Amino acid sequence: MTTELKQQTVVVSTIDEMRKISESFRGQTLGLVPTMGYLHEGHLSLVKQSLEKCDHTVVSIFVNPRQFGPKEDLDIYPQDLSGDLEKLESLSVDVVFNPDRQTIYPEGFKTHVQVDEITRNLCGKSRPQFFKGVATVVLKLFNIVRPQYAFFGEKDWQQLAVIETMTRDLNMDVEIHRVPLMREPDGLAMSSRNSNLSPEERKQALSLSRSLKDSKEKIQQGIISSKELRQNIRNIISAEPGTQIDYISICDPVSLEEKEIIKGRTLIALAVKIGPARLIDNCIIED
Ligand code: AMP
């Protein structure tokens, strides 16, 4: 009889400890999965890809205050460190990096990363601080953990575009891997923020994925006007009381420039406020 030995997951919170461990992996491949915790299957699909591709995997859990605006949901962002650790241990993740705010942003912190142009539209418009906060913390995590590979979900399409642009523009030695968006069986895009929805709000939230599915069907039927498709999405989502549309974007998946007609590969991306949560979802229309 063979017993499978599960590798122990190490939890570290200081930069020194993290660096020492990364140093000990030298000569082997290291993958990083940055998260804000409250892990679900969407996060775990990134972790599984890293485990498959790399000799070692670090998952960071850090709710980054600098990517939240003053009126956003930082204070109610869901957290469950022990639940997260259980999930990561069961996958035999090597290291969980869980620094506190002071470790990442000590007194006197002054430097930020700003990626231009692609941060102007979509989430960048209504969350002007967001991508500056994201790019800065991801660059810091890369510098602390020194991975060769990093894994990000296509759920946050614009975030991925920002990270890819930053790593290219700043000649960073990290290969970014895209992981497809994971949905609940009923179509809702998995998100830590779903846990802040009431049962009624969760039902209303299904209008996002429903409107994307409906758009795909309309496009298959030959409708190519973005204006018409946008209006159709608006109708589906607004039919649910309590939804507040932030944006509906029909754009080029790389430049994120709006398109008037569906021609070539196209991204349809949405952000909608429902109760305490601002939810995002997207789909790609292939060429
Ligand atoms: P977060 O903890 O929300 O900052 O997400 C951490 C990483 O997990 C990001 O790269 C997200 O894009 C990814 N992620 C979150 N939700 C999903 C999902 N439903 N499907 C795939 N990736 C996801």
Beta strands in 54-210 (DSSP E): 56-61, 95-97, 149-153, 175-179
The reported pTM is: 0.97
Measure the CA–CA gap between 70 and 278, rounded to whole angstroms. 14
> Which tokens hold the place of 55?
């000799």
In ligand 1, the atom with minimum distance to the C-alpha of 36 is: 2
Cβ atoms 248, 217 nearer than 8 A: no
Ligand 1 atom at minimum distance from 37 CA:
2
Fold of 2-179: Rossmann fold (3.40.50)
Integer Rg of the chain from CA: 20
pLDDT at 4 over 70: no
What pLDDT digit, counting tens, does each position of 154-206 carry?
A: 999 999 999 999 999 999 999 999 999 999 999 999 999 999 999 999 999 99
- Whose Cα sits closest to atom 5 in ligand 1? 35
- H/E segment holding residue 38: none
Distance (Å) from CA 8 to ligand 1 centroid? 24
Query: Residue ranges of the domains in the chain?
Result: 2-179, 192-285
Pocket test for ligand 1, best of 57, 61, 156, 190 (most atoms within 8 A of CB): 156
Does the active-site annotation cover 43? yes
Atom nearest to 189 CA in ligand 1: 19
CA atoms within 13 A on the CB side of 31: 20
CATH of 192-285, one of 3.30.420.40, 1.10.10.10, 3.30.70.930, 3.30.1300.10: 3.30.1300.10
**Ligand 1: which residue has its CA nearest to atom 7?**
35
In this prediction, residue 7 carries a pLDDT of 72
> What pairs with residue 250 in β-bridges?
268
Ligand 1 site-directed mutation target among 155, 182, 183, most atoms within 8 Å of CB: 155
Core vs surface per residue 211-238: b (16+ CB within 10 A) or e: bbebbbebeeeeeeebeebbebbeebbe
Q: What is the mean pLDDT of residues 239-247?
A: 97
Per residue in 252-274, pLDDT (tens digit) is 999 999 999 999 999 999 999 99
List beta partners, residue 244.
273
Q: Determine the 3-state secondary structure of 151 from DSSP.
A: strand
Instruction: State the average pLDDT over residues 94-122.
Output: 97
209 phi, psi to nearest 5 deg: -65, -35
